Amino acid sequence: MQTNFSPEQLADPHVAESEQILRKCVHCGFCTATCPTYVLLGDELDSPRGRIYLIKDMLENGRAADTETVTHIDRCLSCLSCMTTCPSGVDYMHLVDHARIHIENTYRRPFKDRVARSVIAATLPYPQRFRAALRAARLARPMAGLLKRVPWLKTFGVMLDLAPAALPPTVAKPKVHSAKGARRGRVALLTGCAQPVLRPEINEATIRLLTGQGIEVVLAEEEGCCGALVHHMGREEQALKAARRNVDAWLKAADEGGLDAVVITASGCGTTIKDYGHMLRLDPAYAEKAARVSALAKDITEYLADLDLPEQQARGLTVAYHSACSMQHGQKITTMPKQLLKRAGFSVRDPAEGHLCCGSAGTYNILQPEISAKLKARKVGNIEATKPNVIATGNIGCITQIATGTAIPIVHTVELLDWAYGGPKPAGI
């Protein structure tokens, strides 16, 4: 793609990077075949190629974002399926990240959108606030239908629909979980923000499985939200603050006792943490440290694949494996989770259209509920067609989203692996 940026514009490293990304696009349109929003809506501007044209026009002309551009960029799930398909290697992820930051800095959203986004950014990344909000949501749930009929309160009605009917109890965890038997390794585990509130059993299963395999697990002091939720809302400073805090926390743990990896059980977080080196590349105080953390970051299935877990007898249980977009497209992890499940004795099936997003995508199911609901229905239909006993996936957002559309139990992949290697049977199976 030909570009026409001025030397003054290219002096901005963010613009210079986006210009190089834009120049790689050859307009081939391969991305349209795998883009969920284009598949659903059939609008060129709701395809990666269309959004690239909008971003190019906005950045090249140095203008503030307009309503049309914002509408179509907001509809992007950041599923990154287009990057898997693209034959030219267009780095759409970093291009749309830059576009969202530009939108956040130059576009004044309607009041109702500003309020909703501010509430999300101030609540979801903080476990105590998130838990308090969910408890309040249980009381307000009967009002969900009414709120959704009021345009400026619609988003809050959607939030109430998504809130769980009950929350698991909060249990304090020690900061170090010793390996059982001879120690084979030492890792830090990202505890996360939404996951320990909604499904604390995922981290519990992870700790149990790793320590049972001789791995010491550290929950680093001061570690918090990875920053993904606000990063995808264009709130750059809030995201970078979260990244710096985690970099400091994990490198302190590494300096104190060494780390083989920073293990992550939410693939959406994993994609972001593996990108810390890029996010902080222009920060002289953190560039090198962030790159070190990104190099340590591993999805739990990546780490387990290196442990050579023993093969187990068949369990007679059929698992539909849903590969989260952030897993298969963001981190390019496609076979490891399924291989681990098969080795653990499960029969694994791949649903049709596995490359398409389930519609969760961080806060997408809150901010774009209509498109999200259509994607969920499509995903659930494909999963149910495999006639599984249970659904497994590696991302809390997908778990929460899919669970609202089917009666089939859905668990994290690590919960099934923990059960196969001596842990308790996951609830609901």
Residues 243, 219, 257, 255, Cα dihedral to 10°:
20
Element (H, E) at 71: helix 67-74
Select from 211, 212, 301 the least CA-distant residue to 264.
301
Phi and psi at 361, nearest 5°, equal: 50, 55
> What token pair was written down for 416?
């099934």
- Provide the edge-to-edge strand list for the sheet that holds 176-177: 176-177, 215-218, 185-189, 261-264, 297-299
Phi and psi at 220, nearest 5°, equal: -65, 135
- What is the residue extent of each domain of the chain? 7-106, 111-162, 175-305, 311-421
Domains 7-106 and 311-421 belong to one CATH topology: no
Q: Where are the alpha helices (DSSP H) in 75-225?
A: 81-85, 92-106, 111-123, 127-140, 144-148, 154-162, 195-198, 200-212
pLDDT digits (tens, 9 = 90+) for 309-347: 999 999 999 999 999 999 999 999 999 999 999 999 999
**Percentage of the chain lying above the pLDDT 70 cut:** 100
- Bridge partners (DSSP) of residue 298 are 263
Banded model confidence at residue 373, pLDDT cuts 50, 70, 90: very high
Select from 213, 3, 189, 220 the least CA-distant residue to 95.
3
As a whole number, mean pLDDT of residues 32-42 equals 96
How does the average pLDDT of the chain come out, rounded? 94
Distance CA 382, CA 386 (A): 7
Distance CA 335, CA 323 (A): 10
Phi and psi at 410, nearest 5°, equal: -125, 130
Contact partners, residue 383, CB within 8 Å, separation at least 6: 320, 322, 351, 391, 402, 406, 408
pLDDT above 80 for 170: no
Distance CA 229, CA 224 (A): 12
- Please give the single-letter amino acid code of residue 273: I
pLDDT above 80 for 151: no
Banded model confidence at residue 173, pLDDT cuts 50, 70, 90: confident
The domain covering 7-106 belongs, at the CATH homologous superfamily level, to Alpha-helical ferredoxin (1.10.1060.10)
pLDDT digits (tens, 9 = 90+) for 392-422: 999 999 999 999 999 999 999 999 999 999 9
Distance CA 370, CA 75 (A): 11
CATH match of 311-421 with 3.40.50.1860? yes
pLDDT digits (tens, 9 = 90+) for 94-123: 999 999 999 999 999 999 899 999 999 999
Q: What is the pTM of this model?
A: 0.94
CATH match of 175-305 with 3.40.50? yes
